[in-house]
Chains A and B, each alone.
Chain A
Amino acid sequence: MDSSELQPIFDFVNGLVPFNQLQPESLEWAARQLEIAYFPAASHIVPLSDDDRRLYIVRSGAFEVRDKEGELVDRLGEGDYFGYPSLLSGDEISNSVKVLEDGLVYQLPEECFSELCSANREFSRFFNRAYARRMRHEGRFKARSMLTTSRLSSLMSSDPITIDIDQLVGEAARLMSQHRVSSVLVQEGEQLVGILTDRDLRSRVLAEDKGPFTRIADVMTTAPLTVEPETLVFEATVLMGEHNVHHLPVTRNGKPVGMVTSTDILRSQSSQPLLMMGEIDRQTHIEGLVNLSKRIPMLLQNLISADARAEEIGRILTSVTDALTRRLIELAQSQLGEAPMDFCWLAFGSQGRQDQVACSDQDNGMLLAREPDSQEAEYFSQLAKIVCDGLDACGYIYCPGDIMAMNPKWRMSLKEWQQRFSSWVNSPEPKALMHASIFFDMRAIYGPERLFDGLQLSVLELTRDNDIFLALLTGNAMNSRPPLGFFRQFVLERDGSEVKGIDLKHKGSAIINDIARVYALSAGVREINTPKRIRQLVDLGVINRKDALNLADAQEFIAHMRLANQGRQFEEGQKPDNYLKPGAVSSLVRHQLKEAFKVVDDAQSGIRLRFMRAY
């Protein structure tokens, strides 16, 4: 039998990258291994089994890939593949594939896929790239291991040491030792033409008995393997391993823009939050903590460039702050002696909500088990001073509103705190309430849970179903509105004549936090983190599931835009702020952003209707 009987199937497969890279015999062999299955939309999902892995090739119809949480990962049509991630990684299949339109799918059994991968490099590289891309895409929704999702741009050295091709080896060596680097990039004009490394100097110059007057062109590695700034760290690691190199020039349009070494990659992993928190706990001096905290901007930058979920970034950064605070308290206690009574260190505002980003100021207080006598009061005063000063040294600047444990006003016994909250709730003044809103987002960072519960539960008891308080709180939450005009155009913040852009924090995230807080206090929800509050409110039936999902999505999207914007500003050397210029993003993103703000607007109308009885 010759191939002509299956010609339409060969033709189809041969039209697909990377199958078109295969030798005709391999292609024919592969095509004959195919199996064909039909998936009607009515069947909803494509049954995938770990025992029976295949490469799936969509012949007709439409499918979508969703991850465990149900987040959309990819949409597939004719000629697209699925099933390769688990074939490559050997991991359990975690994604599910939904059938959108009736479709025919060709399937290549696992052995056959492996056979092709090992026989053809192009073939295997294609799927590895696709896998990396997929991971990167998933990373947008979920922070994975840093290694797998961050991009080279986040860790490459951005001023590569370059030398002209006409220079001599001696000059290159001098340059390298001057800049303490292990390699130099060789340019012809602006274009990268080669690389000269320590190893080249050893093996191709010294070992060959050549001198410093050798021309670089004779000993360099020509046309080195290069990567782009957008390449994933993961991909770079794979490439280095595959080609046994330790230096990867980063180029854009052939021009060198950076350099990544295997050392850079190793070091980048050390800013991973878990490692960092471990290190924090090992520090015995405040100086050590201050040094460690210098890595926080880098950590944030890595997380941003990894497209991690904004919610995760906030939680990760907050957990670092928490760890620093806790360690400072422990260090202070080792200095001052054991505390004379139980106490809790309270975090308010963004640290309380676990949505801290870079350069937050500190908002904290202290909750004491009972009224202290003067000696005890002095102890806590010193403790608070040490911790607050330490936090300031670590980059968490003093609170401009003086809401800090070192201010005696915010160092109170349980009874005093309860009274303070009672006055906020029972005779709420707008100004007091503006302050109070951050207090209602409180979390104990240190201290016995029992003590904190005593405060939190009594506060929630006060606020629950207290309609007048809730109406005023809602009124406060109405003070800023999403930046959408009457015709749904963006309303930009201005500073005099200068257009600053859309204020993503105050006109977006902060409003959503306000909304979640109003609901949470109305229902006595103990969660503090906004997305968690929203989830629990749904479970309690306080808000409609659809509204909640919309709000949570809007929260994530706006926060993500804000972080991505700050990441971009950081990379461009500007001071990060909360203003997004609509021109800086694509029309699709602008559209999504409008949708998100519309959701915020709707949710605001929702609390207004519910708690203020107005619309």
Chain B
Amino acid sequence: MDLQTLTYIIVGATFALYIGIAIWSKAGSTKEFYVAGGGVPPVMNGMATAADWMSAASFISLAGIVSFVGFDGSVYLMGWTGGYVLLATCMVPYLRKFGKYTVPDFIGERYYSQAARTVAVICAIFICFTYIAGQMRGVGVVFSRFLEVEVDTGVYIGMAVVFFYAVLGGMKGITYTQVAQYCVMIFAFMVPAIFISVMMTGHIFPQLGFGSQVLDAAGNPSGTYLLEKLDGLSTQLGFNQYTEGSKSMIDVFAITAALMVGTAGLPHVIVRFFTVPKVKDARSSAGWTLVFIAIMYTTIPAVAAFSRVNMIETINGPESTGVAYETAPQWIKNWEKTGLITWDDKNGDGKMFYANGEQNEMKIDRDIMVLATPEIADLPAWVIALVAAGGMAAALSTSAGLLLVISTSVSHDLLKKNLMPNISDKKELMYARIAAAVGVIVAGYFGINPPGFVAAVVALAFGLAASSLFPAIIMGIFSRTMNKEGAIAGMVTGLAFTSGYIVYFKFMNPELNNAANWLFGISPEGIGFIGMIVNFAVALVVSRMTTKIPDDVIEMVEGIRFPKGAGGAQDH
């Protein structure tokens, strides 16, 4: 059976699984509530949250980025993991006590202002758009490879699939579907990683293989450690040493911080915490989520390193002189069809060669790394198909969640609450669907003309969240004096500053996008951190100059942090 057929079958089978679970859980839900009596167990909810969390960016792109840029790529790992911890421990418990379901609702209520709410909604929509644009690119890559089409066509197909999945399918938000998606995803990610780890280092756990010696042809440890070998290859080919970063300390710090705090403002993840009824369960399911995220995140550096070594060796050959194009492995030919790998025979020797600088003849898109790894390592076809299914799961679960946030924000928060209060339910639903369609189209546009790689685009979304929503939430919880004027001014300037900086470097003057021109040497990926500081500063100054916050709001804020009586009731 050829790869393509197998891919169809496996992707199809996983979809059938999701739909099947959706139908089963719908039919059985009433009974299930009576029998199980406790809703969704924390382990399951942990997996579901992890599935929401691990977007196409994590699945497809993160390993690619780490693989190509080495140490610098690890900022994403640190930032996102840290962000999750921050969200789960410092923010969710308070938001929960406040009784608000979405971030804009919290901000609107806390800052006693419809305007603050609307600004928050606009920020949320903005963030979701950026985030989903990254997902669309990921979906496009998956489709383009496995349908053997141009990546743009892949994005179009992905747009249609995501739209139908999000709008017409009834399987979003069903915990067990998400659990299944997580399982498919983690299985798809781990199987090739384990295969390659065993092949290259003899260790079953890729995490251990990452720090071990590379096996020689006979299968015995060769005495060189994987990372040593990679560093050697990198310097030889004119790249930075793999384990050394090229980014400045401050930039690394800023990006990590922006990713961390940006997480807290991501509208589609917070909701998931509220579906667990009890605070205790919410805590334990957050713990599980962290475990499930960690399984994948700790594997990423290993996968990145394995595939880097494999890739360089298959292109440049064991002697590092290049491999004749005619004898090039099938995976290079396959990926050429998508336009994500190109070969330019500069020296006319008919051989491919990959390096940094003049000698380089290959252009390889980083986003293909995870998908191509099993092919590069010559793993069986079903593994490759499985990875495709995993990529689909990652992209679909996240983009469906995001589209939902975009469309309900537009239809409910903007239209119903602001513009047409007397709209009927049906109309509201219709507008929500229209908003989802528009969302998909806009995201598709950015998927085709990406301002960066998947992970980088997603990082921008985090930057926007960090600079707009995060300060408003934090001050809403922890400050008794922050008023609506301050919060609104902070959110607006934070968002304007960050998006202005990003647009300037990414769209208007991409040629200036280097450390020399950056503000404080901070890249657009990390500018959200500065945006956040600007936001805090503006908010504090404005709130000092304007009216005092009403007494009942002060009481409310104190109630969040020191709940009276409610604490006892919580643990019933």
Contact = CB atoms under 8 A, between A and B. Distances in A.
Given A481-B26, A609-B411, A610-B412, A429 B39 contact: yes
Nearest to B405: A613
Given A426-B566, A429-B277, A481-B26, A613 B101 contact: yes
Contacts of B421: 541
A430 B277 CA distance: 7
Contacts of A426: 566, 569-570
B408 A613 contact: yes
B422 A471 contact: no
A546 B424 contact: yes
A207 interface: no
B173 A614 contact: yes
Given A543-B425, A547-B424, 18 more contacts: A419-B569, A423-B569, A426-B569, A427-B278, A430-B33, A430-B39, A431-B34, A468-B99, A468-B101, A469-B99, A470-B101, A472-B275, A479-B30, A547-B425, A603-B425, A606-B429, A609-B429, A615-B432
A291 interface: no
Interface string A407-435: 00000000000010011001111110010
B250 to A, nearest CB: 38
A311 B336 CA distance: 70
Contacts of A541: 421-422
B432 A431 contact: no
B274 interface: yes
B357 interface: no
B348 interface: no
B541 to A, nearest CB: 31
Interface in A552-593: none
Interface residues of B, number: 46
A544 B572 contact: no
B438 interface: no
A354 to B, nearest CB: 25
**Shortest 7 CB-CB distances between A and B: which pairs?**
A606-B425, A467-B101, A466-B99, A423-B569, A544-B424, A613-B408, A430-B39
B324 to A, nearest CB: 55
A429 B38 contact: yes
A609 B412 contact: yes
A223 B80 CA distance: 94
A586 to B, nearest CB: 28
Interface residues of A, number: 41
A334 interface: no
Interface string A509-551: 0000000000000000000000000000000010111110000
A470 B279 CA distance: 16
A480 interface: yes
B102 A613 contact: yes
Interface SS of chain A = helix
Interface in B369-409: 404-405, 407-408
Interface in A436-493: 465-472, 475-476, 478-481
30 contacts: A419-B569, A423-B569, A423-B570, A427-B278, A427-B570, A429-B277, A431-B33, A466-B99, A467-B99, A470-B101, A471-B275, A472-B275, A479-B30, A541-B421, A544-B424, A544-B425, A546-B424, A602-B425, A605-B425, A606-B429, A609-B411, A609-B412, A609-B425, A609-B428, A610-B428, A612-B173, A613-B101, A614-B173, A614-B404, A615-B408
B223 interface: no
Contacts of A431: 33-34, 37-39
A477 to B, nearest CB: 11
B429 A605 contact: yes
B429 A615 contact: yes
A595 to B, nearest CB: 13
B128 to A, nearest CB: 12
A613 B270 CA distance: 12
A466 B39 CA distance: 20
Which of B99, B275, B432, B569 is most buried by chain A, counting CB atoms within 10 A of its CB? B99
Interface string B15-33: 0000000000010011001
Interface SS of chain B = helix
Contact of B172 (A545, A605, A609, A614): A614
Contacts of A428: 277
Nearest to A544: B424
A603 B426 CA distance: 8
Interface string B28-49: 0110011001110000000000
A602 B426 contact: yes
Nearest to B565: A422
B96 interface: yes
Interface string B417-437: 000011111101100110000
Interface string B159-180: 0000000010000110000000
Interface in A11-54: none
B278 A429 contact: yes
B100 interface: yes
Contact of B428 (A476, A480, A606): A606
B31 to A, nearest CB: 9
B41 to A, nearest CB: 12
Contacts of A468: 96, 99-101, 274
A265 B359 CA distance: 108
A414 to B, nearest CB: 15
Nearest to A613: B408
A476 B423 CA distance: 25
A116 B167 CA distance: 67
B42 to A, nearest CB: 13
A612 B38 CA distance: 19
Contacts of B277: 427-430, 472
Interface string A365-382: 000000000000000000
B412 A467 contact: no
Given A431-B33, A469-B99, A547-B424, A613 B39 contact: no
